[in-house]
């Protein structure tokens, strides 16, 4: 099974979204002010930020390793470098990184592609759950932080944030109930879903069935209590490390008192924008999330917000690039071996 590129129109669209994100961030910032702001950064704080980013990815690797246990016991080092190579595929054009890491795992560890993809779906599932918990907490209980209006709109973002928080809280409860139902009443739930999708067109029937078939494979891994505990633990650890990786960045820019709430708000806004505006490597959408958090919510200057976004994205990119490129060179992988069948 080869990995197919996206259609050119879709590639153009995501690149336009990325450029739109950069325009939104930089539209009121001069090049001279932006370049001058680099002189005020305390670069020594970048090292602990990079260390925390590395640790967050290692926590993610331990989580994926736990999900793979029902299929095969894989060394966490191997899992880490395969995962980071996949993330590198998300940064490069066509964003096929998730399929790429499943495909490499199949080649290196002889784990069925369907099984590898099912574990990646489980990763996404638990990430969404934590995202919804963070969204509920920030938008519902810290709605006052969003008490601002955009220059060309009279809409109260505080009221919108409160309603969105309530919506996310409802989704969180619904997702927890869904996970419980799948773990405890899987056969009944699948029978109901398969009965319902018989009414759909063949195209949508196959799509929905494929999703639930993969969910069935994925949830079979977390039926084991020890595996489920590891997945929950490493999911929480990964997100905490990601959140705290911004702590030294705040110090690098001398942004004053740092609260846990401000770190979470920054993380949440990045997640919101990168989810709503998916771009290769989240370039542009990541920057827009940082800009809204630092400038609109926390009141920092547009220059600082723009610079912070560029630097934070670059540090994350370097962590992924170093790990992914190391694995590609070590394993002597080429575009031919990555993108084509044997």
Residue 282 forms part of a structural domain? yes
b/e code 89-112 from CB counts within 10 Å (16+ = b): bbbeebbbbbbbbbbbbbeebebe
Q: Are 217 and 67 in contact (CB under 8 A)?
A: no
CA-CA distance, 181 to 166, in Å (whole number)?
23
Are 64 and 74 in contact by the 8 Å Cβ rule? The answer is no
Pull the structure tokens for residue 336. 């031919």
Domain presence at residue 84? yes
Are the CB atoms for 97 and 88 separated by under 8 Å?
yes
In a domain, 89, yes or no: yes
Number of domains present in the structure of the chain: 1
| Cα–Cα distance measured from residue 207 to residue 181, given in angstroms and rounded to the nearest whole number | 21
Phi, psi of 254 (to 5 degrees): 50, 55
In order of 49, 200, 250, 252, 311, the CA distances from 37 in angstroms are: 19, 56, 14, 12, 11
Cβ atoms of residues 67 and 221 within 8 Å: yes
Helix H segments across the chain? 8-26, 31-37, 46-68, 76-91, 97-109, 113-141, 157-184, 186-197, 202-221, 225-244, 247-252, 260-276, 285-291, 302-330, 335-339
Q: What is the pLDDT of residue 220?
A: 80
Integer Cα distance of 19 and 284 in angstroms: 6
Q: Are 164 and 190 in contact (CB under 8 A)?
A: no
Q: How far is CA 30 from CA 36, 200, 287, 308, in A?
A: 10, 53, 16, 15
Cα–Cα distance for residue pair 81/324, rounded to 1 Å: 6
User: Would you write out the chain's pLDDT as a tens digit for each of its 342 residues?
Assistant: 444 445 666 777 878 888 999 999 999 999 999 999 999 999 999 999 999 999 999 999 999 999 999 888 999 999 999 999 989 888 755 557 788 888 888 888 888 888 888 899 889 989 999 999 999 998 888 877 777 665 555 666 778 888 888 999 999 999 999 888 888 888 888 888 888 888 888 888 888 888 888 788 878 878 888 988 999 999 999 999 999 999 999 999 999 888 999 999 999 999 999 988 888 889 999 999 999 999 988 999 999 999 999 999 999 999 999 998 888 888 877 656 555 544
In a domain, 188, yes or no: no
Can you give the residue range of the structural domain that contains 245? Answer: 8-171+231-339
Does residue 187 fall inside a structural domain? Answer: no
Tokens of 26: 């930089």
Q: How far is CA 35 from CA 81, 289, 299, 306, 322, in A?
A: 34, 21, 21, 11, 26
Distance CA 79, CA 154 (A): 49
In a domain, 193, yes or no: no
Give Dmax (Cα) for the chain.
63
Residues present in the chain in total? 342
Q: Is residue 286, in this structure, part of any structural domain at all?
A: yes
Cβ–Cβ contacts within 10 Å for residue 203, how many? Answer: 8
Please report whether residue 214 resides in a domain: no
Assess contact for 93 and 11: CB atoms under 8 A: yes
């Amino acid at each position: 099974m080869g990995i197919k590129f996206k259609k050119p129109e879709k590639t153009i669209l995501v690149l336009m979204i990325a450029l739109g994100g950069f325009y939104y961030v930089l539209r009121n910032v001069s090049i001279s002010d932006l370049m001058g702001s680099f002189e005020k950064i305390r670069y020594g704080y970048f090292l602990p930020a990079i260390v925390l980013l590395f640790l967050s990815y290692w926590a993610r690797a331990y989580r994926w390793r736990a999900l793979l246990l029902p299929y095969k016991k894989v060394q966490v080092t191997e899992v880490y470098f395969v995962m980071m190579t996949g993330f590198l595929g998300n940064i490069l054009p066509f964003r096929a990184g998730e399929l790429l890491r499943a495909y490499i795992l199949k080649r290196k560890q002889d784990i069925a592609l369907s099984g590898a993809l099912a574990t990646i779906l489980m990763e996404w599932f638990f990430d969404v759950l934590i995202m919804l918990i963070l969204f509920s907490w920030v938008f519902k209980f810290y709605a006052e932080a969003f008490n601002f209006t955009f220059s060309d709109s009279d809409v109260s973002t505080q009221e919108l944030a409160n309603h969105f928080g309530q919506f996310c809280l409802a989704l969180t409860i619904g997702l927890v109930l869904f996970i419980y139902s799948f773990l405890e009443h899987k056969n009944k739930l699948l029978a109901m879903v398969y009965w319902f999708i018989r009414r759909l067109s063949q195209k949508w029937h196959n799509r929905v069935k494929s999703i639930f078939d993969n969910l069935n494979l994925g949830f079979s891994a977390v039926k084991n209590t020890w595996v489920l505990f590891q997945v929950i633990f490493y999911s929480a650890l990964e997100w905490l490390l990601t959140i705290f990786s911004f702590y030294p960045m705040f110090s690098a820019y001398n942004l004053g008192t740092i609260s846990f709430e401000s770190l979470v708000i920054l993380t949440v806004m990045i997640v919101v924008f990168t989810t709503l505006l998916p771009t290769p490597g989240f370039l542009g959408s990541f920057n827009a999330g940082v800009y809204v958090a630092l400038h609109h919510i926390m009141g920092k200057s547009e220059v600082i917000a723009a610079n912070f976004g560029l630097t934070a994205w670059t540090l994350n990119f370097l962590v992924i690039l170093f790990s992914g490129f190391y694995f590609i060179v070590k394993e002597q992988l080429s575009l031919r071996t990555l993108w084509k069948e044997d």
